[in-house]
Amino acid sequence: MGGSPSIFLPKAYNSAMTCAVTESYPAFTNSAEFYDDIYLARGKDYQAEVEYLCRLIKARKPSLGDSLLDVACGTGEHLRHFLTQADITAFGIDHCAEMLAIAHRKLDGEPGVAVGTGGTGGSGRRGVILQQAGMTDFALGRTFDVITCLFASIAYLADVQTLRHAIRNMVRHLAPGGLLLLEPGLMPHQLKAPMRDQTICTIGDVEIRRTTTAQPRDNTLIIRFDFDIRTHQGIREFSEEHVIRLFTPENYEQSFIAANLTVEYDSEGPGGRGLFIGTPA
């Protein structure tokens, strides 16, 4: 994103260029390098999403405040745009080292932005602090004016109890008068066909194909991503399985209320997938 191709190929790929191999990886471990390119090709507009969130925040607060935490920040695209919209110190946590490594590299390349992994992000520069941590038990020892958790990241949690733990933990990090903005995962009433699609994009001489199939099972959606990465040197194939919990609107609302938040639901939200808005009661 941001104009230049972000793709580079994992070392394992370089040594096995000439034959197709099929491998399985935990969610995002191996696809992280292709994440930004895939979602750019799918038309996900992080800048417009952040503009939407900033308008919403400003309508509820006199200012954005000076600190924002993005829980499950992934490759840092929302953080990157928040930093261009406002003079804030931004934090991001994610449990996936590969996603965070991309966020780190990307944000470090932003003019005037200093990236750290603790303490401050650097004096006289807008700071970003990135930490590898899980959303149920991160402990940053400070509070934030705004906490976001976006693009269905919350739906990777296994069950309602864990959802409640995660929301409670976010609220522990919320400053008085702060805002929690949570973009939910797919909810049961939103499930619809097609359950299979394909995204293809070309970056330089690399063609990335991702075929997605999704299968509802009990309270979850099992999403399988089959990647096919081609260069003039060869083909690499690998698959990932993502298990997404289909939390209901009530699951989200009750988790907010149990964490002492008042909750509103914006049915549009930054990405057309709705947004739960929490403020300390």
Ligand X SMILES: C[S@@+](CC[C@H](N)C(=O)[O-])C[C@H]1O[C@@H](n2cnc3c(N)ncnc32)[C@H](O)[C@@H]1O
3-state secondary structure of 239: strand
Evaluate the CA torsion angle 201, 222, 268, 57 in order and state its sign: negative
Minimum Å gap between C-beta 49 and ligand X is 8
| By CB under 6 A, residue 156 contacts ligand X | yes
Q: Judged by CB under 6 A, which stretch of 58-66, 69-77, 110-118, 220-228 contacts ligand X?
A: 69-77
User: In terms of Cα–Cα distance, which of 228, 230, 232 is closest to 31?
Assistant: 228
Q: Are strands 196-203 and 206-217 parallel, antiparallel or unpaired?
A: antiparallel
| By CB under 6 A, residue 82 contacts ligand X | no
Toward ligand X, which CB reaches closer, 134 or 234?
134
| By CB under 6 A, residue 74 contacts ligand X | yes
| By CB under 6 A, residue 169 contacts ligand X | no
Toward ligand X, which CB reaches closer, 17 or 195?
195
Q: Judged by CB under 6 A, which stretch of 72-80, 139-147, 168-176, 227-235 contacts ligand X?
A: 72-80
Toward ligand X, which CB reaches closer, 140 or 235?
140
User: In terms of Cα–Cα distance, which of 206, 272, 263, 277 is closest to 10?
Assistant: 206
Binds ligand X by CB under 6 A, chosen from 73, 86, 170, 174: 73
CA dihedral 87, 167, 26, 192 (to 10 degrees): -100
Number of residues lying near ligand X (CB under 6 A) = 17
Q: Which of residues 96-155 bind ligand X (CB under 6 A)?
A: 96, 99, 134-135, 150-153
Toward ligand X, which CB reaches closer, 44 or 61?
44
| By CB under 6 A, residue 244 contacts ligand X | no
Contacts of 12 (CB under 8 A, 6+ apart): none
Q: Are strands 206-217 and 220-231 parallel, antiparallel or unpaired?
A: antiparallel
- In the block, which residue shows the tokens 């932003």? 110
3-state secondary structure of 259: coil
Minimum Å gap between C-beta 53 and ligand X is 11
Q: Looking at beta carbons, which residue is closest to ligand X? A: 74
| By CB under 6 A, residue 92 contacts ligand X | no
User: In terms of Cα–Cα distance, which of 74, 48, 78, 42 is closest to 181?
Assistant: 78
| By CB under 6 A, residue 240 contacts ligand X | no
Residue type present at position 185: G
Tokens of 59: 């309508």
Minimum Å gap between C-beta 76 and ligand X is 8
Task: Give CA–CA dist 130/117, Å, rounded.
Answer: 5
The Cβ-side half-sphere exposure at 205, using a 13 Å CA radius, reads: 5
| By CB under 6 A, residue 94 contacts ligand X | yes
Contacts with ligand X, 17-56, as mask; x by CB under 6 A: -----------x----------------------------
Residues that bind ligand X (CB under 6 A): 28, 72-74, 77-78, 94-96, 99, 134-135, 150-153, 156
